[in-house]
Amino acid sequence: MSKAIKILWRIFFIGVGAVILIVLLANWGVFGKMPSIEELENPSASLASQVYADDGTLMGKYYLEDRVNVKYKDISPNIIHALVATEDERFYEHSGIDMRSLGRAVTSLGRDGGASTITMQTAKNLFTENWDTRNFLLRVLQKVKECIIAVKLERNFTKEEIVTLYLNTVAFSDNVFGIRNAAKTFFQKEPDRVSVEEAAVLIGMLKGATIYNPKRNPKLALDRRNTVLNQMVRNNFLASSEADVLKRKPIELNYKKLDETAGLAPYFRMVLGEEMKRWCKEHKNPTTGESYNLYKDGLKIYTTLSPRMQLYAEEAVGKHISYMQKILNSQDNIKNGSVWKGYENVVEAAMKQSDRWKNMKKDGVSEADIKKSFHAKVPMKVFAWNNKREKDTVMTPYDSIKYSRQMLQAGFMAMDPMSGEVKAWVGGIDFKTYKYDHVNVNTKRQVGSTIKPLLYSLAIEDAGFTPNTPVDDIQQSFGTYGMVPATGASCTGETMPMAQALAMSRNCATAYIMKQLGPKGNDGAKRFADFLKNCNISSKIEPYPSIALGSAEISLIEMMQAYSMFPGLGFNVKPMYITRIEDRNGNVLQTFLPQRKEVISDVTAYSVISMMQGVMKYGTGRRMWSYGIDADVAGKTGTTNDNSDAWFMGYTPQLLCGVWTGCDDRFIRFNSTSVGQGSSVALPIWAYFFDKCVSDKNIVLDNNAHFVKPEVMSNDIIYDWINNVPVQLGAEGADVGNGSRADYGDIPADAKPEEIAPESEIIPDTNKQKPVRKEQQNPPAAPVTPGQHPTPKAVMPKKQ
């Protein structure tokens, strides 16, 4: 044997030995951690956590990578055939490594195609790093690891399991991962219902997720789809004649990418996400020993929210707030900008918090030039009351800040008063533009007269009052704590039953009741503040006598819990919006049950219910009956000083709903009390919502349900006083007057309630029928003309 041949053999064996050594070292984890047998048998990938409504409707997701697993049986054969024909023709023949493809790739240096099999790509997706590196040595080591893991996968999994793993982990375009989300995103279909040509489009994207995205590059995607169809013909998965027909068809997309703003109840999902983050920190995954990750662990969160009721709530908010916005915009101080006089610092603070300011500051632009840019007109999109909730316009960024902050906001919540299950949650007028939620416990506003039923229930429960107890409508002195109310202008000086004081929302009579709870200083206020804590109001409430009139700042969700003790016949229930949490495999991690406690007796609860029915029949809430409502409704309106906040809390035996409305900046408000009080701004939202709900046969609400009177009660409320109730009721907060023609310019002729589509939407699901919203024609409030302001339309009940 010649010396040259010996050298060649030596080089050959050294090369073979080096390859074996590299493979062994890679398998031992020298070049990076290799998965254990246990990890191979239980592969995991980042999975999106999913949120479901009470009927199983998918509401939305939390994710870093939008991926949801699906089983092999739920994947269409069209997808499997397209994948194998295009990515790995000999998938069912090799054991993880296709030697023919590998040889071809080596000899042609990859010019004639790669060597990766479906199993190797699955290994890459699940267990290897640096897969996109351009470093040649790292790339070689990564391929070696892929081959080793691929062989191990073939030993531990069937072909069906491997192809399922691959399809669940592969990346598509638009940050979509996995075949289920790809099918849902591009065609709004479950993967078991994807047609041949749709499967070809999806699999075609795998060669280049962005370049072959049918939404971005339809021509390239069409050509790639037809290439996949040709591959299916070549591998006997598709007849040539059928492929010819399919290749002539255009790509018919039904694209809808689910993001934070898409889906059902975006404000609710934002609050739920924060709650789930806290839950994840407190609970550990038994498999990893680490805290759960909301964005990676594929949790399934089942909620109490009703899709139908959520849509109706959003429609009600849109219908009435859009109407009231036109009234506010016609106000002179809004039209001429004088409302901002003395509040220029608010605009400047908003300027400095804007992305425009921060980006220009980062680029080194001087503060003077940045301010100058805010006064130059530019094209922009701004919020508008239409079905898209936006419009194109041209204005200065400075004016756009004012425009945005002059929008009326709203918070709405509906729940079952017995179980506490939250059925609808509207945190604002448009989540895309206004992320601030007005329902959650951290958003607190003065509650005005809605606090009064709580004070009256304390007087009945602990101080021996009854609805018929006489009270004096006289300004009260609380010693060093001053006079309540601050002015006695609204006091009548009359003595009246407590029921009448609540129905007419008499501030002075309410102060009298507070005084009876503790005649010295703020003793009554301390007693009331302690009672509010017992009602599970967690907001810090200083015991000043003025809290009797609603000076305390409390969130809507807290008020909902406090009010639940009335329809709950004495039992207070915590609002509940999660029923159970499951892991990615469907194992139940935690279930949630109603949390109820008795706060007042059923006799006290019914007494307050009766008085609050008087509010609706004879008092500040009687505008309700002009909206066609025919049910047993109890409620209370609320209006704070200068009309900065307008509330309505109302309930039936089966449903409790709360409404808050106002601007985020309290100095932006209605100048007219008759326009800006709770009965005008908040109550109609409740009415529109309830009317839609009781008209929908799919929502279980009995319009004929009545509050049950406790057997031990013998006396009813005496309503003799109603004959003296004036048609026009006074304001509940500090009266700023009824307004005049000078307050308003020309009110638009179209200032009337309009049907506005709900903000959120139900994600289409081919496995269930989409809920249908039944349109109801509600009697609209009368259009307003200059010099005339909307007032509650009272309908006095017939005498029995």
Residue with tokens 């993001």: 259
The pLDDT of residue 55 is 94
The pLDDT of residue 403 is 96
Spatial separation of the C-alpha atoms in residues 142 and 128, rounded to whole Å: 7
Q: In this predicted model, what pLDDT tens digit does every residue of 139-171 receive, in sequence order?
A: 666 777 777 777 788 888 899 999 998 898 888
Name the helix (H) or strand (E) containing 393: strand 391-395
The pLDDT of residue 800 is 36
Closest Cα to residue 352, out of 306, 398, 389? 398
Q: Say how many C-beta atoms besides its own lie within 10 A of residue 203's C-beta.
A: 30
485 vs 173, residue with greater confidence = 485
SS3 content of the chain, % helix, strand, coil (to 5): 45, 10, 45
Task: Specify burial of residue 570 (Cβ count, 10 A radius: 0-12, 13-18, 19+).
Answer: buried
Q: Is the pLDDT of residue 773 over 60?
A: no
Q: In this predicted model, what pLDDT tens digit does every residue of 717-761 receive, in sequence order?
A: 666 655 555 444 444 665 555 555 566 666 677 778 889 999 887
Q: Is the pLDDT of residue 489 over 70?
A: yes
Percent residues over pLDDT 70 in the chain = 81
The pLDDT of residue 111 is 53
91 vs 532, residue with greater confidence = 532
State residue 432 phi and psi, 5-degree precision.
-60, -40
The pLDDT of residue 783 is 36
The pLDDT of residue 729 is 41
Using H for helix, E for strand and C for coil, what is the string for 660-726? EEECCCCCCCCCCHHHHCHHHHCHHHHHHHHHHHHHCCCCCCCCCCCCCCCCCCCCCCCCHHHHHCC
Q: Could you write out the DSSP letters of every residue in 305-339?
A: --HHHHHHHHHHHHHHHHHHHHHHHTBHHHHSSGG
Q: In this predicted model, what pLDDT tens digit does every residue of 570-625 receive, in sequence order?
A: 999 999 999 999 999 899 999 999 999 999 999 999 999 999 999 999 999 999 99
Alpha carbon 181 to its chain's center: 21
Mean pLDDT estimate for the chain: 86
Residue 679 tokens read as: 């009965």
Spatial separation of the C-alpha atoms in residues 234 and 747, rounded to whole Å: 71
Q: In this predicted model, what pLDDT tens digit does every residue of 65-89 receive, in sequence order?
A: 777 888 999 999 999 999 999 988 8
The beta-strand segments (E) located in 476-611 are 476-477, 483-484, 495-497, 553-554, 571-573, 578-582, 588-591, 596-598
The pLDDT of residue 552 is 95
Spatial separation of the C-alpha atoms in residues 800 and 795, rounded to whole Å: 15
Q: In this predicted model, what pLDDT tens digit does every residue of 439-469 receive, in sequence order?
A: 999 999 999 999 999 999 999 999 999 999 9
Q: Is the pLDDT of residue 129 over 60?
A: no
451 vs 21, residue with greater confidence = 451
Q: Is the pTM of this model over 0.85?
A: no
β partners of residue 471: 496
Average pLDDT of the residues in 120-129: 73
Q: Is the pLDDT of residue 119 over 90?
A: no
787 vs 624, residue with greater confidence = 624
The pLDDT of residue 795 is 36
Distances (CA, A) of 242 to 223, 232, 238, 369, 397: 17, 11, 7, 65, 57
N-terminal to C-terminal alpha carbon distance within the chain: 124
Closest Cα to residue 611, out of 503, 732, 454? 503
Percent residues over pLDDT 90 in the chain = 64
Residue type at position 520: K
Asked which of 7-21, 214-228, 562-576 is least confident by mean pLDDT, the reply is 7-21
The band of 44, judged by pLDDT with boundaries at 50, 70 and 90, is low
Q: In this predicted model, what pLDDT tens digit does every residue of 294-324 receive, in sequence order?
A: 998 999 999 999 999 999 999 999 999 999 9
Q: Is the pLDDT of residue 173 over 60?
A: yes
The pLDDT of residue 664 is 96
649 vs 65, residue with greater confidence = 649
